């Protein structure tokens, strides 16, 4: 697999996200990424998201914790979702021991053996904020193949991942310009490719700014609402006319 480089210097990155689907707000989150002096990375996230059940729209809350070791590989992770009437509520906890992922859903357990890719835990959209930080830390290359550990269980009750089932390729894709009104911000652009399709991630250095997913199912954007409180304007992804 990929070898880790020198971890980022100690510090903290915090931010808030707004999640829009087809230009309508669907969720929000606040996250904090800390890099203690002893090494490793800790991430915590809290937020809400809405979803439809029959003719009703429900709002669920979530909390998430991820711990990475000094080589930036996942050690432990947990995701808790609480929804009205228990619809969609769940908790998953996991840890990696000797290249094996152990996932506990409370009523079932799953074991996944890691492959060649660098392991990456993805749960809510906050976890995508780890990608530019890890990309920066994992040697200065143009692309990294991550092996994704997915924290959202499937509706049919299957485990959150299968051996070799979830590879995410992240590669540099030049620069992009974000319209700031009086000016523009030049940012780093990454292309994310998996068996589910392609998406685009924008960052400034090792700090996440936005995730863009556009496809047959519509357009989804998760962006830093603390940096762009009035919404994010992207020249290559304009909102439809009213």
Q: Is residue 86 part of a domain?
A: yes
pLDDT on residue 234: 72
Q: What's the alpha-carbon Rg for the chain, to the nearest Å?
A: 18
Q: Is residue 7 part of a domain?
A: no
For every residue of 120-138, which 3-state class applies, written as one string? EEECCHHHHHHHHHHHHHC
Q: How far apart are CA 98 and CA 35, in angstroms?
A: 23
What would the pLDDT profile of 105-123 be if each residue is shown by its tens digit?
888 888 988 888 899 999 9
- The residue segments making up the domain with residue 65 are 14-224
pLDDT beyond 90 at 23? no
Q: Is residue 65 part of a domain?
A: yes
- Per the structure, the count of domains in the chain is 1
Q: Is residue 95 part of a domain?
A: yes
Q: Is residue 1 part of a domain?
A: no
pTM of the model as a whole: 0.85
What would the pLDDT profile of 52-78 be if each residue is shown by its tens digit?
888 888 899 999 999 999 999 999 999
- Lowest mean pLDDT across 38-42, 82-86, 149-153, 176-180: 149-153
Q: Is residue 77 part of a domain?
A: yes
Q: Which residues contact 86 (CB under 8 A, 6 or more apart)?
A: none
Closest to 96 measured CA to CA, from 108, 110, 107: 110
Q: Is residue 232 part of a domain?
A: no
Q: How far apart are CA 219 and CA 88, in angstroms?
A: 23
pLDDT beyond 80 at 6? no
Q: How many residues does the chain have?
A: 242
Q: Is residue 172 part of a domain?
A: yes
Contact 221, 210 (CB under 8 A): yes
Q: How far apart are CA 32 and CA 14, in angstroms?
A: 4
Q: How far apart are CA 146 and CA 61, in angstroms?
A: 28
pLDDT on residue 216: 66
- Give alpha helix (H) positions in 86-171: 130-137
What would the pLDDT profile of 169-227 be if each residue is shown by its tens digit?
999 998 988 887 777 888 999 999 988 789 999 999 889 999 998 776 678 999 999 99
């Amino acid at each position: 697999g990929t070898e880790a480089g020198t971890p980022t210097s100690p510090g903290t990155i915090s931010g808030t996200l707004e999640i829009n689907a087809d230009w309508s707000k669907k969720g929000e989150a606040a996250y904090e990424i800390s890099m203690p002096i002893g090494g490793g990375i800790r991430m915590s996230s809290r937020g809400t998201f809405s979803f439809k059940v029959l003719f009703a729209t429900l709002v669920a809350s979530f909390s998430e914790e991820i711990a990475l070791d000094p080589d930036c590989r996942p050690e432990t992770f947990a995701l808790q979702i609480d929804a009205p009437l228990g619809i969609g509520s769940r908790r998953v906890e996991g840890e990696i021991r000797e290249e094996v992922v152990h996932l506990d859903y409370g009523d079932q357990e799953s074991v996944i053996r890691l492959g060649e890719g660098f392991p990456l835990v993805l749960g809510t959209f906050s976890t995508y904020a780890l990608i530019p930080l890890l990309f920066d830390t994992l040697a200065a290359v143009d692309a990294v193949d991550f092996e994704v550990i997915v924290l959202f269980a499937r509706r049919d009750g299957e485990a959150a991942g299968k051996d070799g089932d979830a590879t995410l390729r992240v590669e540099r894709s030049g620069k992009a310009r974000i319209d700031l009104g009086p000016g523009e911000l030049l940012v780093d652009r990454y292309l994310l490719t998996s068996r589910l399709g392609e998406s685009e991630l924008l960052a400034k250095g090792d700090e996440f700014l936005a995730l863009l997913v556009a496809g047959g199912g519509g357009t989804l954007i998760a962006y830093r609402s603390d940096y762009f409180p009035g919404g994010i304007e992207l020249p290559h992804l304009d909102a439809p006319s009213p």
